[in-house]
Amino acid sequence: MKKKSNLLKLLGLLVIALFFHQKHQAQTLGDSTKITIGDVFKMVYANHPIVKQAQFLPELAKMEVRIARGNFDPKFYSGFQEKLFKGTRYYNNLEADLKVPVWVGDIKGSFERYRGDFINPLDDTPFEGLYTLGYSLPIGQGLLFDARRNALRQAQLMIGMAQADQIKLINKILLQVAKDYWDWYFTFRQLLNVDSTYNLAFIRFEGVKDLVKYGNQSLLDSLEALNNLQLREIQLQQSKLQFQNATLQLSNHFWDDNQQPIQLKETSYPDFIATNQAILQPKMLDSLLQLAETRHPEIVIIRLKIDQLGFERRFYREMLKPVVNLEYNVLTFPNNPSNIGSNEYLRNNYKAGFTVEMPLFLRKERGRLRQTNIKIDQTLLEQTQLIREITNEIRMSYNDIKTFELLVRRQRDLVRNNRLMLEGELERFRNGESSIFIIIARETTLINTQLMLVEFEAKYAKATAFLYWSAGLENWLPPYDR
């Protein structure tokens, strides 16, 4: 009867210890700060250095467009030369030119004034100087497309590529942040479980030690309880270390508005509810596949690259044509009383001409065109393979999520069943039909299934993040803020 009373006492200590630890755990979390994955993403979007660095990419691309537009900037030139030797003025030349590139050809204006005793008669000008206004038109190579239009078109495509690169770079950071967050979640839940079992093992050891002292329990039971306590203590220290390192790893992503690093507080803990995401439906998979095919950053980049190569091909096709430039310039001088807009004046006061240039074999031009065609074929094949890989990656991520959904449900059933088995074993122990060894074995099984459940929950959440990454989503906040 006395032995049974002592057993009841030990069982009561176990129950009280479990209740006390759960209450203490709830109080600890109640005094702490809950950090959700959505909170983490918001901080990353706001202040992460690499995210801020990625935000400069579109601006850099816009500057490339500005540089390309510089090929259409007007250019001004002015020069003066004079030679005077032994009282003889050989020449006194003043000239100024303004060239205005337009979409096709160039508008040119100039002023010339040549004086002296030894100037070239071809350069002779009125005393006041000579004005020239004309237009240069390419009617062969450069009429439909030229180098400066090619540069501008390609630079304009770079804006879209930069925006896609920005999404790609930010998504890479978000994926790593999600992995670190769920590692932190796993180590925290693991620490809670191991801490709970350590406290139970400590209370059990103290109770068994008292029973052995009064001769109501064997020394072997005391040794078994001590071994279990020491094992739980080792596991507790390992769990603390893992949680500390996971906290430091997650803290790498936290920065304030002044780009100063922020350290996670010791009282911070992850959101448990975040692992209970809504079950993904097949229609969401179809939606992600369609979205990825049109907006995935890697697919956008390769399509814009193909467009760039298309402009290259158009330019090199233009290079196969002969260079034929027509030029007409009307001439006038200051205070000219004539009507310079009349047909008679234009027929008698002009400078005109044309130039023709053509390589005889066009080997360089034909070689560059062939190179570009090969690059386009290669990039088209690369695009086909890329779309297939991204599509299968999305499907694999979706399969992982569906599998972990099932595993989480089954593992929760296992946890519930093992908890019932432990409670039943405690009842048998109360009736003197079990032993400390069996209780510890049941408890170990329960702990392992609980840890396995937490691991599956973390893997499920990581698979969800990987799905968003593989689909190339631009903004990860809405799914986590739901």
- Say how many residues make up the chain: 482
Greatest CA separation found in the chain?
Answer: 141
Cα Rg, the chain, nearest whole Å: 41
Most confident of 274-278, 307-311, 339-343, 356-360: 307-311
- Read off the pLDDT of residues 124-141 as tens digits, 9 standing for 90 and up: 888 889 999 999 999 999
- Read off the pLDDT of residues 191-240 as tens digits, 9 standing for 90 and up: 999 998 888 888 878 877 776 666 655 667 677 778 888 988 999 999 99
Per-residue pLDDT averaged across 399-410, rounded?
92
- Read off the pLDDT of residues 342-353 as tens digits, 9 standing for 90 and up: 888 888 899 999
Of the pLDDT bands very low, low, confident and very high (cuts 50, 70, 90), residue 12 is: low
Please check the confidence at residue 281 and state whether its pLDDT lies above 80: no
The fraction of the chain above a pLDDT of 90, given in percent, is 63
Please check the confidence at residue 31 and state whether its pLDDT lies above 80: no
324 neighbors 355 (Cβ within 8 angstroms): yes
Of the pLDDT bands very low, low, confident and very high (cuts 50, 70, 90), residue 26 is: very low
The fraction of the chain above a pLDDT of 70, given in percent, is 89
- Read off the pLDDT of residues 168-187 as tens digits, 9 standing for 90 and up: 999 999 999 999 999 999 99
Residue 106, number of CB atoms within 10 A of its CB: 18
Assigned token pair, 262: 């922020």
Domain edges within the chain: 2-65+150-308+376-481
Please check the confidence at residue 25 and state whether its pLDDT lies above 60: no
Burial status of residue 267 (CB atoms within 10 A of its CB: 0-12, 13-18, 19 or more): exposed
Q: Which residue has the tokens 């250019």?
A: 75
Query: Looking at residue 16, what is its pLDDT?
Result: 47
Q: Rounded distance, CA 459 to CA 37, Å?
A: 14
Please check the confidence at residue 428 and state whether its pLDDT lies above 50: yes
Of the pLDDT bands very low, low, confident and very high (cuts 50, 70, 90), residue 401 is: very high
Per-residue pLDDT averaged across 262-280, rounded?
74
Query: Looking at residue 479, what is its pLDDT?
Result: 66
Query: Looking at residue 21, what is its pLDDT?
Result: 47
- Read off the pLDDT of residues 293-307 as tens digits, 9 standing for 90 and up: 999 999 999 999 999
Domain 2-65+150-308+376-481: state its class: mainly alpha
Of the pLDDT bands very low, low, confident and very high (cuts 50, 70, 90), residue 267 is: confident
Query: Looking at residue 216, what is its pLDDT?
Result: 57
Mean pLDDT of the chain: 87
Distances (CA, A) of 434 to 221, 278, 422: 12, 43, 11
Please check the confidence at residue 71 and state whether its pLDDT lies above 60: yes
Count how many Cα atoms sit within 13 Å of the Cα of residue 432 in the half-sphere of its side chain: 8
Closest CA to 138 of 284, 319, 364: 319
Query: Looking at residue 95, what is its pLDDT?
Result: 95
User: How many whole angstroms from its chain centre is CA 481?
Assistant: 20
Query: Looking at residue 4, what is its pLDDT?
Result: 47
Query: Looking at residue 19, what is its pLDDT?
Result: 45
Of the pLDDT bands very low, low, confident and very high (cuts 50, 70, 90), residue 27 is: very low
- Read off the pLDDT of residues 465-474 as tens digits, 9 standing for 90 and up: 999 999 999 8
Of 270 and 4, the structure prediction assigns the larger pLDDT to 270
List, as one string, the DSSP characters of 371-383: HHHHHHHHHHHHH
Closest CA to 111 of 77, 66, 155: 77
